Structure 1
């Protein structure tokens, strides 16, 4: 069984400028994902995809095996991520001249996940033989209880009202926030241009303190503080 880890990092970050290579406790942010993949011992190849040569150079310095130049039409602010991951996989397979059975993508801006999170997500995927695994944390709000939206008239309503109203959040069906930290796929599902959610998609649950995806300066400060606490132990 061959496993590939992809890490896709755009150069045009808006919320936090140059966040993928910005220093976080003595190393560029993207280094956390590269090092985690290496420490897990799971992967034959670790590949980094980017439209930025500077990001690719930094990734090479921190141990990425293969660097993939992402096409500019896959690196715009409105570009979806799945096509970039597919492109990266295809480029690596062309270079290596073999196919991978397990494909894992690590978000470059989620440095709080652990090696055990990664190993557990891959083990869940391979032991159950499913199409894919995503990661998420328990949701702070429930669409059945306290998550609301505006209707066509501009009035507020529950997002998913039930026939019998929920009076305690604890009684609502379990809901999760996707944290975009780890994605695991069968090759034929990812490259087959299917959507993210399949009939057998599983979720690997992570706690909130390991689920922050850096998308703002406030996120950056939270992550910096949490990592500082880990290093201080």
Structure 2
């Protein structure tokens, strides 16, 4: 069985929702939800949090994760997270740690389940370089997603197609931040996610909320309350 290590990448200078990574959701810091789900997956042997923030680091340690100090140049708004992934892998390998699968569990998707993560791990076979999660898209580039010019003249993204009914068009999906799984050597040897073969796992929209601003946060609170009510009724 492959040994997986989980990584949570949490910067301290969030702009859309300041302090979001340690903002309380359901009585726990947002970051804690990712750590706790990782600890529920048997194949995940260790959990690391990569951060530039002492406050986030303190919360990570409180909930049982090991901390990787992220360099300032990898914690800016413009720094690709892929570089932070590479830094984290090299840091862990320098400690003498060996693992088969890298699992990124962004703090911004607190409603994922352990089963979602396990599905992604199971999908990381010899035919896939990366496993991502997706949810069915509400809009379609064939019908109601538009591009527009400076004068506001608009056209459908996938114009010139022969599809007249949405049901006949290819089903499209939104990529989510529920989980990313890859082999460490793939990440170290490439410069982007889609440099290899990418497999996707479909998750329900209610477990795929990605918190970027206060509106997303409020939606996550509602779904978490609903989940708590359902569990209480059983």
State the TM bucket, normalised to the shorter chain: over 0.9
> Hey, what's the Cα distance between the residues in 2 that align with 1:211 and 1:60?
26
Give the corresponding residue for 2:56. 55
Whether 1:170 and 2:151 are equivalent positions in the alignment is no
**CA deviation map 1:63-105 (0-9, x unaligned):** 10x210101111112221111111111111111x133221110
Give the corresponding residue for 2:137. 139
Matches within 5 A, 1:79-228: 79-95=79-95, 97-126=96-125, 128-151=126-149, 154-164=152-162, 166-228=163-225
More displaced stretch, 128-137 vs 223-232: 128-137
Shift of 1:215: 0.4
> Hey, what's the Cα distance between the residues in 1 that align with 2:59 and 2:209?
23
| Contact 1:151–1:157 (8 Å) recurs in 2 | no
> Hey, what's the Cα distance between the residues in 2 that align with 1:19 and 1:54?
12
Structure 1 residue runs without a partner (length 5+): none
**CA deviation map 1:123-178 (0-9, x unaligned):** 0113x5410111111111111111110147642011112441x2221211121111
Q: Secondary structure at the match of 1:144?
A: coil
State the TM-score, normalized to the length of structure 2: 0.93
| Contact 2:25–2:221 (8 Å) recurs in 1 | yes
> Hey, what's the Cα distance between the residues in 2 that align with 1:129 and 1:99?
22
Change (3 A) 1:129 1:45: farther
Shift of 1:2: 2.4
> Hey, what's the Cα distance between the residues in 2 that align with 1:170 and 1:207?
20
> Hey, what's the Cα distance between the residues in 1 that align with 2:211 and 2:161?
38
> Hey, what's the Cα distance between the residues in 1 that align with 2:226 and 2:93?
40
> Hey, what's the Cα distance between the residues in 1 that align with 2:101 and 2:41?
14
Matches within 5 A, 1:67-78: 67-78=67-78
> Hey, what's the Cα distance between the residues in 2 that align with 1:35 and 1:108?
11
> Hey, what's the Cα distance between the residues in 1 that align with 2:196 and 2:51?
31
Give the corresponding residue for 1:10. 11
Q: Secondary structure at the match of 1:44?
A: strand
Give the corresponding residue for 2:40. 39
| Contact 2:130–2:196 (8 Å) recurs in 1 | no
Structure 2 residue runs without a partner (length 5+): none
Q: Secondary structure at the match of 2:193?
A: coil
State the TM-score, normalized to the length of structure 1: 0.93
